[in-house]
Chains A and B, each alone.
Chain A
Amino acid sequence: MDIQVRVWRQTDSSDKGRMVTYDVKDISPDASFLEMLDVLNEKLILDGDDPVAFDHDCREGICGACSMVIDGVAHGPERATTTCQLHMRHFKNGDVIDVEPWRAAAFPVIKDLVVDRTAFDKIIQAGGYITAPTGAAPEAHATPVPKKDADLAFEAATCIGCGACVAACPNGSAMLFTAAKVAHLGLVPQGQPERDTRVLDMLQAQDDAGFGGCTNMGECTTVCPKGIPLTLIGRLNSDYRKALRNSNS
């Protein structure tokens, strides 16, 4: 199939950037979206042009590196799918596809489609961990965890930190990410001692990184490749309120 892509090109953070149109011919419908960009880049290299820079790593939908907004939708038109797992058969011959980076002040563009997601690391560093002495793994049944909590904790823990929630949010908010991280530790017994400081510190790091606030629109959960539920944001709000009360008493 033959398509056209309009790709965001930006040489560095000081460049203003622009959309540039490229023809991509003879693409297999079974190619992934990233493989289509690989084909484009090989052609650009042969022509002596600068290839399009984009983030990618595992290419099997689990690392969270690939990050592009395709026709205005983070990770493209397929629900619960990362860009690397999106295939060209979901497009038609002759389509013009717009490809842009995540757009957020907290995620400055490094080059083309590559953005700096250090802000997410800062949120994790603020409290997305459990302070515990390392050593031999304890016996698995030493600390019982109710099945319901374990399931929800696992669902929250599937967040791969790609940043699609921020890219899709009309407010550029990172609440779904922060909520998932707060929930997956807050639901298990090991996470209880730091439950209050975790939510306060991670939320502070999120707000200070320049993300917007949540207005409960639900765009984030719609584009999330892991389908992190919007209800977790309510859980963060509840944890935050309890932490405020505890810190004042």
Chain B
Amino acid sequence: MAVDTKVPKAPAAPVRSRKRTSSVLLKIIMAVTGILLILFLYLHMIGNLKIFFGAEAFDHYAHWLRTIATPLLPKTWFLWIQRGGLTIAVVAHIAAAIILARRAAAARPVKYAHRPKVQGSYAARTMRWGGVIVLLFVIFHILDLTTGTLNPVGDKSHPYANVVADFALDRWYVTLFYTLAIVAVGFHLRHGIFSAVRTLGQQTAKGERIARASALVLSLILVVGYLSVPFAVMTGLVD
């Protein structure tokens, strides 16, 4: 049954004059910077846990951070080099994420009318907004416990006192935000660690199972380690 169908105009193919930066290169940047940041998170967590050894041990550890690599470097130089490195990693991670997120949005200009929930894990689906929450938290966290601006005590020479004052029961909203942010970090890393390993070339089914399991375990350790501090303060275990 031959019928005349209306012959449509040929659609215009998207024209791109400039070559795009490779999406895989951007992802490698995200993977490498992400791994550096995870290493930092682990060292930071180990330091935090010193709070369970008392005020003196914790404050001593905090002061030691300023003397790392002395006398090779002048006092606090290592700390500033490390802060510089972390800032570069965070900026590169976010810049690559923004480029990729904008490309993804542009890649599907017309949405589906009917779209069931994406089957990827909750962690995978919330990478972008979870990342934004974590960034906002990091800004708050620096103003709170590094500069002391937002801390009720804000005494740089007594970090233990700052932490205890921070998570006092009447400042429940700080603890709530802290908890939310740490859980967001956990979800971010649950998918992020697997994704980083895959981006760096993991390619076997067995390796995938190991990568996914490791991602879950490493994220859980971080969440439990970080949350133990505010909950210890709230329950009076640390005061």
List the interface of chain A (C-beta within 8 A of B): 6, 8, 11-14, 17, 19, 42, 45, 50-51, 53, 69, 71-73, 98, 100, 103-106, 108-111, 116, 118-119, 170-173, 175, 203-204, 206-219, 222, 229-238, 240-241, 244
| Contact assessment for B19 and A208 in the assembled complex, using a CB-CB cutoff below 8 Å | yes
How far apart are the CA atoms of A12 and B124 in the complex, in Å?
A: 35
- Interface 9-mer from B75-83, B166-174, B191-199: B191-199
Report B-chain residues with C-beta under 8 Å of the C-beta of A13: 8-12
CB distance from A209 to the nearest CB of B (A): 7
Q: Contact between A98 and B113 (Cβ–Cβ < 8 Å)? A: yes
C-alpha gap A72/B5 in the complex (Å): 27
Q: Are B23 and A170 in contact (CB under 8 A)?
A: no
Interface centre among B25, B194, B207 (most CB of A within 10 A): B25
| B116 interface contact, C-beta 8 A | yes
Query: Given A103-B110, A108-B13, A110-B10, A219 and B198 touching (CB < 8 A)?
Result: no
Contact B124 A212 (CB under 8 A): no
* Interface residues of chain B: helix, strand, loop or mixed (majority): loop
19 residue pairs of the A-B complex, CB under 8 angstroms, read A13-B11, A51-B3, A73-B116, A98-B113, A98-B114, A103-B110, A170-B125, A175-B23, A210-B106, A212-B100, A212-B104, A215-B124, A217-B119, A217-B120, A219-B118, A231-B207, A234-B208, A238-B201, A244-B25
Main SS at interface, chain A = mixed
Assess whether B116 is in contact with A213, with CB atoms less than 8 Å apart.
no
Nearest CB on A from B238, distance (A): 39
Q: Please give the residue numbers on chain B whose beta carbons come within 8 Å of chain A beta carbons, in ascending order.
A: 1, 3, 5-6, 8-14, 16, 19-28, 100, 103-104, 106-116, 118-120, 124-125, 127, 191, 194-195, 198-205, 207-208
Q: A98-B113, A98-B114 in contact; A222/B119 too (CB < 8 A)?
A: yes
| A53–B120 touching, CB < 8 Å | no
**Nearest 3 interchain pairs by C-beta:** A172-B107, A238-B201, A13-B11
User: Is B205 within 8 A of A231, CB to CB?
Assistant: yes
Determine if B1 and A42 form an interchain contact, defined as CB atoms under 8 angstroms apart: yes
Contact of A241 among B6, B14, B200 (CB under 8 A): B200
- Least CB separation from A166: chain B residue: B107
Nearest residue (CB) in B for A242 is: B201
The answer to whether A45 touches B1 (Cβ under 8 A) is yes
B204 touches A240 (CB 8 A): no
Supply 5 further A-B pairs (C-beta < 8 A) apart from A208-B19, A217-B119: A204-B20, A208-B20, A214-B23, A237-B198, A244-B25
